[in-house]
């Protein structure tokens, strides 16, 4: 019976006490967006716009970009789509934007930082997003990657508003942003925690190196602690703090994230059914207890064992 239930997800996702936790999808283009909609995603929590730029030697025009974003918006009429502005650099190099000679690309000019070097690219992307948004009945939110300071968050919000888009947010994926979450949330409407990069930067452990998997694990207590701090500031500011890194796709970790105060999750569409199934079996209070036991662990394996012991349904799901 579990296997049958797990083949599909039809939202909304509710905890056992009725608390609503929107489950959205991470997508990269129109085809993935259509697949995500078919899988029941309650919108897009992370549109990786790099797809429109990859394999190109020059910047796509505003019209080309608007056409590509429009294909994603068309799949999610009447839903929310969170568009992440260009995250070029490090693991996503772009010939016309990134400097291949940087000694430490992960610590270099990547994400929002490229807008300092390449004047106008971000402005034109926002123009394209606004143009595509004007043609579809979707709620478009825009967020910037690799924000490290409240000042950068303020600059981004100004650019978003100047483009006629109402809702600006940031990714929290640099430790300084998690530590400064209160100041940053003052400048934006929402935050979305990118656990892939947050883990890389908190643990100083390259996300591309399989040999460091034990360190590059979002179950690391230090990572969970920063997620909890960020979500707590979101609660104080009454602003939503989601997670859009791979951590959201792990059903056990999803319970911990919700218990830490995360208000929405965005993941690869195939993960939606299992995450929804496990979340629907816990109340917010129970998730908070489970999060406390994960936070008290000394290692990822200890945290996973503690959470598994509290969620027998995970054994059923395999």
195 contacts which partner out of ligand PEP, Mg ion, none, CB within 5 to 8 A by kind?
ligand PEP
Rounded CA-CA distance 71/62 in Å is 14
**Among the listed residues 176, 196, 205, 288, the single contact to ligand PEP using CB under 6 A:** 196
- Closest contact distance (angstroms) between CB of 197 and ligand PEP is 3
CB atoms within 10 A of CB 15: 19
191: CB partners within 8 A, 6+ apart: 143, 169, 170, 171, 172, 177, 181, 184, 185, 230, 234, 239, 240, 241, 242
Cβ-based nearer residue to ligand PEP, 41 or 131 = 41
Distance of CA 302 to the CA centre of its chain: 25
Rounded CA-CA distance 209/211 in Å is 5
Which 3 state secondary structure label does DSSP give 144?
A: strand
To 10 degrees, what angle do helices 251-259 and 284-295 make?
Answer: 100
Which 3 state secondary structure label does DSSP give 123?
A: helix
Q: Does 294 bind ligand PEP (CB under 6 A)?
A: no
Which region, judged by CB under 6 A, interacts with ligand PEP, from 13-21, 136-144, 189-197, 285-293? Answer: 189-197
Phi/psi for 190 (5° steps) reads -160, 165
Query: Is 172:179 a contact under the CB 8 Å cutoff?
Result: no
Question: Pairing mode, if any, of strands 168-172 and 190-193?
Answer: parallel
- Closest contact distance (angstroms) between CB of 205 and Mg ion is 14
Query: Is 153:121 a contact under the CB 8 Å cutoff?
Result: no
Cβ-based nearer residue to Mg ion, 91 or 102 = 91
**Among the listed residues 195, 216, 220, 233, the single contact to ligand PEP using CB under 6 A:** 195
Which region, judged by CB under 6 A, interacts with ligand PEP, from 126-134, 161-169, 194-202, 220-228? Answer: 194-202
3-state helix, strand, coil in the chain (%, to 5): 50, 15, 35
- Closest contact distance (angstroms) between CB of 135 and ligand PEP is 26
Size of the site for ligand PEP (CB under 6 A): 10
Cβ-based nearer residue to ligand PEP, 84 or 304 = 84
User: Any bridge partners for residue 302, and if so which?
Assistant: none
Question: Considering only residues 213-272, where is the footprint of ligand PEP by CB under 6 A?
Answer: 244-245
Structure tokens belonging to residue 215: 């360190």
Cβ-based nearer residue to ligand PEP, 110 or 304 = 110
89 contacts which partner out of Mg ion, ligand PEP, none, CB within 5 to 8 A by kind?
none
- Closest contact distance (angstroms) between CB of 82 and Mg ion is 13
Query: Is 3:269 a contact under the CB 8 Å cutoff?
Result: no
Binding site for Mg ion (CB under 5 A): 173, 194, 197
Cβ-based nearer residue to Mg ion, 42 or 173 = 173
- Closest contact distance (angstroms) between CB of 173 and ligand PEP is 5
Instruction: Mark 47-66 with x for binding to ligand PEP (rule: CB under 6 A) and - for no binding.
Output: -x------------------
Rounded CA-CA distance 106/108 in Å is 6
Summarize as ranges the residues that interact with ligand PEP (CB under 6 A). Answer: 46, 48, 87, 173, 194-197, 244-245
């Amino acid at each position: 019976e579990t296997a049958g239930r797990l083949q599909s997800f039809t939202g909304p996702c509710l905890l056992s006490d009725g608390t609503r936790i929107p489950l959205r999808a991470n997508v990269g283009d129109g085809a993935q967006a259509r697949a995500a909609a078919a899988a029941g995603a309650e919108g897009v929590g992370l549109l990786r716009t790099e797809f429109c730029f990859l394999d190109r030697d020059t910047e796509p025009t505003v019209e080309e970009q608007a056409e590509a974003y429009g294909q994603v918006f068309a799949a999610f009429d009447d839903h929310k789509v969170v568009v992440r502005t260009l995250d070029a650099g490090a693991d996503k190099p772009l010939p016309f934007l990134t400097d291949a000679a940087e000694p430490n690309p992960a610590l270099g000019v990547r994400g929002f930082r490229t807008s300092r070097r390449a004047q106008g690219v971000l402005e034109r992307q926002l123009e394209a997003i606004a143009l595509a948004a004007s043609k579809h009945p979707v709620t478009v939110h825009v967020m910037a990657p690799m924000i490290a300071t409240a000042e950068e968050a303020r600059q981004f919000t100004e650019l978003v508003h100047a483009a006629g888009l109402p809702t600006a947010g940031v990714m929290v994926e640099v430790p300084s942003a998690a530590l400064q979450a209160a100041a940053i949330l003052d400048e934006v409407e929402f935050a979305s925690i990118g656990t892939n990069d947050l883990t890389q930067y908190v643990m100083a452990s390259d996300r591309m190196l399989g040999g460091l998997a034990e360190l590059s694990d979002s179950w690391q207590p230090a990572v969970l602690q920063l997620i909890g701090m960020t979500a707590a500031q979101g609660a104080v500011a009454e602003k939503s703090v989601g997670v859009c890194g791979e951590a959201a796709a792990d059903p056990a970790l999803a319970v911990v994230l919700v218990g830490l105060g995360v208000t929405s999750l965005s993941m690869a569409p195939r993960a939606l059914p299992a995450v929804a199934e496990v979340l629907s079996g816990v109340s917010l209070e129970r998730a908070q207890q489970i999060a406390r036991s994960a936070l008290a662990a000394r290692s990822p394996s200890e945290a996973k064992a503690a959470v598994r012991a509290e969620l027998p349904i995970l054994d059923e799901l395999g």
